[in-house]
């Protein structure tokens, strides 16, 4: 084999050139370290960073979330009709911007990829001077961004993330979640399942083979077994498989009479219609009608499952047809702006941006530890989910959880789901210690 002999002269030359140029640009960067905290808006603009998937499988949910954020910025700045600023109680925002300053925003595309999401968040923080970052449609994006934001000392308000880990094992002091989680789905759906399908059922789980799928399977299994249901089998399916036939045929003669699909998004859009095509819902098993359950509905994607969604029970964070004042106010201003009803994805984004702004207004400063303290333990109402608590010990919101069912006679493509039950907040409240994790310090890092 060949040997390299690096000449002494060559190395010295190279090293020298490197060192000389290496020294120079440090001069330009020195000033960046003088701030009291990262991106202090008192010296510049007030910028929010909205980082959602704009390409890839979850584009529609990402773009709808972005619409929610844009509406929130409008309302904070006093443009439009004010939306839930009129219904939120208590509210410190006056519709004149944030601490009297106009809020601006920057956007990014996460491609539903954790690396790209973190790249986007870093751009917002390092280049655009964002004081707060928000947005995601998967838990992996949420956890990746909130751990980055903790490092940088910038508050992260997560968007659509359903895994227990976001405010459990991987919770962070700088990360906040308004959306509900898999554990709450399990607790919320159980009473309705007992009421609809009885307490003597044999369930077969098909679970997407990654972290979110497992936590959901675990939560739903625990909740249904507490009802007296028996779990026949739990089978893992590869993520993004497309054709599920090889996992569906074994269900037919397994002795189960309920199929629980722990699938989200595209997985659900494919597996649910295919299960229906295999005639599962036309079958009788153990003397009962065979049923399919999708514990967590991806609302916009449910349209992609077509007729198969009709009659299927699942849970949801929020629905535009709710009757409370907050929902009405948000649905109205969103409908006027975009000509369609909002999804739960845009709702959670909208509410998160408003809640952050309100906390800043209440704290009277952008200094993150003070804002965090203003959000921790904040009790509010009128944002669409009834009385809600931002719990201080894990930064999870506690509120009613909706149980929904696929609409048998949808009047439009926005009318896919019907709300059939609400599980009250105290039922879905749990002890934060069951998931472990540690929030970390308040003190901000210098970004």
Partner 1 sequence: MNAFLAQLLNGLDKGGAYALIALGLTLVFGTLGVVNFAHGALFMLGCFCAVTFRYLITLETVTIDPENLSPWGTPVEVRTPLVQNWFGDFGAVLVDYSVPISILLAVPAMLVIGIAMERGIIKHFYKRSHAEQILVTFGLAIVLQEIVKSFFGANPIPQPIPSDLRSAADIGVWLGMDPHTLTYPWWRIVYLAFSAVVIGGVFAFLQFTTFGMVVRAGMADRETVGVLGIDIDRRFTIVFGLAAVVAGVAGVMYTPLLAPNYQLGMDFLVLSFVVVVVGGMGSLGGAVAAGFLLGILQSFASMTEVKSLVPGIDQVVIYLVAVVILLVRPRGLMGRRGIMEN
Partner 2 sequence: MVSLSRTDLSKLAIFAAIVLTMPIWLAPFGAAYPGLMQKFAIYAIFAIGFNILFGLTGYLSFGHAAFLGVGSYTTVWSFKLLTMDILPAMALAVVVTGIFALVIGYFCLRRTGIYFSILTLAFAQMCYSLAYSVLTPITNGETGLLLAKNDPRVLDALFGASASTDGLPHPTLLGGSISGYTGFYICAVLLIVSFYISQLIFRSPFGLALRGIKSNQTRMSYTGFNTKPYTLAAFVISGMFAGLAGALLSVTDPLAGAERMKWTESGNVVLMTILGGVGTLYGPVVGAWLIKYFENIFSAINTNILHSFLSFLPDGLEQVVVAVLSKFVGEGWHLTLGLLFVLIVVFLPGGLVEGSQRLARWLTGRLKGSGAQPHPHPAE
Q: What is the dihedral of CA 277, 265, 213, 322, to 10 degrees?
A: -100
Torsions phi, psi for 121 (to 5 deg) = -65, -40
C-alpha–C-alpha distance, residues 369 and 358, integer Å? 15
Which H or E element spans position 234?
Answer: strand 230-237
Candidates 122-130, 137-145, 228-236, 420-428 — which segment interacts with partner 1 by CB under 8 A?
228-236
CA atoms of 162 and 333, how far apart (whole Å): 26
Residue ranges of the alpha helices (H) in 77-228?
114-126, 139-152, 182-197, 211-227
Please report whether residue 445 would count as binding partner 2 according to CB under 8 A. yes
Residue choice 80, 86, 95, 106 for contact with partner 2 (CB under 8 A): 106
Instruction: Answer whether 404's CB lies under 8 Å from 311's CB.
Output: no
Q: Which stretch binds partner 2 (CB under 8 A): 235-243, 254-262, 282-290, 348-356?
A: 235-243
Listed ranges 78-86, 232-240, 248-256, 400-408: which one lies at the site for partner 2 (CB under 8 A): 232-240
Considering only the stretches 5-13, 137-145, 176-184, 264-272, report the one whose residues sit in contact with partner 1 under the rule CB under 8 A: 264-272
* Residue 170 touching partner 2 (CB under 8 A): yes
**Cβ atoms of residues 208 and 239 within 8 Å:** yes
- 210 binds partner 2 per the rule CB under 8 A: yes
C-alpha 363/C-alpha 361 separation (Å) is 6
- Interaction mask 42-71, partner 1, x per CB under 8 A: -------------xxx-xx-----------
Rounded distance between C-alpha atoms, residue 160 and residue 346, angstroms: 9
Q: How far apart are CA 271 and CA 251, in angstroms?
A: 13
Contact set for partner 1, span 134-153 (CB under 8 A): none
Site string for partner 2, 59-78 (x = CB under 8 A): x---x---------------
In a 3-state reduction of DSSP, which class is residue 244? coil
Please list, in sequence order, all residues whose beta carbon lies within 8 angstroms of the beta carbon of residue 297, skipping any fewer than 6 positions away.
268, 314, 315, 316, 404, 417
Supply 52's token pair.
């959602």
Q: Report the alpha-carbon distance of residue 155 to residue 45 in Å, rounded.
A: 16
Sign of CA dihedral 221, 224, 226, 230: negative
Q: How many residues bind partner 2 (CB under 8 A)?
A: 67
Q: From partner 2, partner 1, none, which one binds at residue 334 (CB under 5 to 8 Å depending on kind)? A: partner 1
DSSP one-letter code for 408: S
Residues 410-429 that bind partner 1 (CB under 8 A): 412, 414
Residue from the set 69, 180, 212, 390 that interacts with partner 2 by CB under 8 A: 212
CB of 113 to partner 2, least distance (A): 5
- Cβ atoms of residues 375 and 442 within 8 Å: no
Residue 226 touches which of partner 1, partner 2, none (Cβ within 5-8 Å per kind): none
Q: Is 108 in the site for partner 2 (CB under 8 A)?
A: yes
Only one of the segments 305-313, 371-379, 385-393, 426-434 lies at the binding site for partner 1 (rule: CB under 8 A); that segment is 305-313
29 binds partner 2 (CB under 8 A): yes
Report what 247 binds from partner 1, partner 2, none; CB cut-off 5-8 Å by kind. Answer: partner 1
Minimum CB separation of residue 393 from partner 2 in Å reads 16
272, 278 Cβ separation under 8 angstroms:
no
Residue 420 binds partner 2, judged by CB under 8 A: no
Instruction: Name which position in 61, 64, 165, 267 contacts partner 2 (CB under 8 A).
Output: 165
Q: By CB under 8 A, which span of 80-88, 132-140, 252-260, 276-284 interacts with partner 2?
A: 132-140
Residue among 103, 131, 143, 261 that touches partner 2 (CB under 8 A): 143
| Residue 408 interacting with partner 1 (CB under 8 A) | no
Is 2 a residue that touches partner 1 (CB under 8 A)? no
Q: Which is nearer to partner 1, 194 or 235 (CB)?
A: 235
CB 303 within 8 A of CB 416: yes
**Partner touching 307 among partner 1, partner 2, none, CB below 5 to 8 Å by kind:** partner 1
Token pair in block for residue 320? 């535009």
| Cβ distance to partner 1 smaller for residue 93 or 305 | 305
Rounded to an integer, what distance in angstroms lies between the CA atom of residue 320 and that of residue 106?
A: 27
How far is Cα 379 from Cα 387, in angstroms, rounded to an integer?
A: 7
Please give the Cα distance from 293 to 197 (Å, whole number).
11
Compute the distance between CA of residue 110 and CA of residue 123 in angstroms, rounded to an integer: 12
The pair of three-digit structure tokens given for residue 358, joined into one six-digit string:
């309100």
Interface positions with partner 2 (CB under 8 A): 1-2, 4-7, 9-10, 13-14, 17-18, 21-22, 24-26, 28-29, 32, 54-55, 59, 63, 105-109, 113-116, 118-120, 122-123, 125-127, 138-140, 143-144, 147-148, 150-151, 163, 165, 170, 209-212, 236, 238-239, 438, 440-441, 443, 445-447
């Amino acid at each position: 084999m060949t040997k390299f002999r690096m000449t002494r002269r060559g190395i010295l030359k190279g090293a020298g050139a490197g060192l000389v140029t290496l020294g120079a640009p440090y001069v330009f960067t020195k000033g960046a370290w003088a701030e009291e905290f990262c991106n202090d808006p008192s010296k510049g603009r007030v910028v929010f960073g909205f980082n959602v998937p704009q390409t890839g499988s979850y584009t529609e949910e990402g773009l709808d979330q972005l619409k929610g954020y844009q509406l929130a910025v409008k309302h904070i700045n006093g443009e439009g009709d004010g939306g839930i600023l009129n219904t939120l109680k208590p509210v410190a925002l006056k519709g004149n911007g944030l601490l009297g300053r106009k809020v601006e925003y920057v956007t990014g595309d996460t491609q539903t990829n954790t690396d790209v999401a973190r790249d986007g968040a870093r751009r917002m923080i390092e280049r655009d001077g964002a004081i707060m970052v928000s947005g995601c449609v998967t838990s992996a994006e949420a956890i990746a961004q909130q751990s980055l934001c903790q490092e940088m000392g910038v508050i992260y308000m997560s968007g659509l993330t359903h895994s227990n880990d976001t405010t459990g094992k991987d919770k962070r002091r700088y990360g906040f979640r308004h959306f509900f989680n898999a554990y709450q789905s399990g607790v919320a759906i159980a009473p309705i399942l007992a009421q609809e399908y009885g307490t003597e059922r044999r369930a077969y789980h098909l679970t997407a083979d990654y972290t979110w799928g497992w936590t959901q399977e675990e939560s739903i299994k625990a909740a249904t077994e507490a009802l007296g249901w028996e779990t026949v089998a739990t089978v893992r399916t590869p993520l993004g498989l497309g054709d599920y036939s090889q996992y569906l045929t074994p269900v037919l003669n397994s002795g189960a009479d309920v199929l629980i699909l722990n699938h989200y998004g595209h997985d659900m859009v494919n597996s649910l219609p295919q299960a229906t095509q295999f005639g599962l819902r036309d079958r009788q098993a153990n003397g009962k009608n065979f049923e399919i359950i999708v514990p967590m509905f991806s609302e916009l994607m449910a349209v992609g499952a077509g007729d198969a969604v009709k009659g299927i029970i699942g849970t949801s964070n929020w629905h535009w047809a709710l009757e409370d004042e907050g929902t009405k106010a948000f649905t109205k201003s969103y409908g006027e702006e975009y000509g369609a009803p909002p999804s739960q994805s845009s709702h959670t984004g909208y509410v998160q941006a408003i809640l952050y702004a309100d906390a800043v207004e209440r704290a009277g400063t952008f200094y993150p530890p003070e804002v965090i303290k203003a959000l921790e333990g904040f009790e509010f109402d009128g944002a669409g989910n009834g009385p809600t608590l931002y719990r201080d010990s894990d930064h999870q919101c506690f509120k009613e959880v909706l149980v929904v069912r696929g609409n048998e006679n949808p009047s439009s493509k926005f009318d896919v789901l019907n709300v059939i039950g609400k599980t009250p907040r105290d039922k879905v409240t749990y002890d934060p210690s069951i998931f472990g994790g540690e929030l970390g310090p308040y003190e901000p890092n210098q970004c």
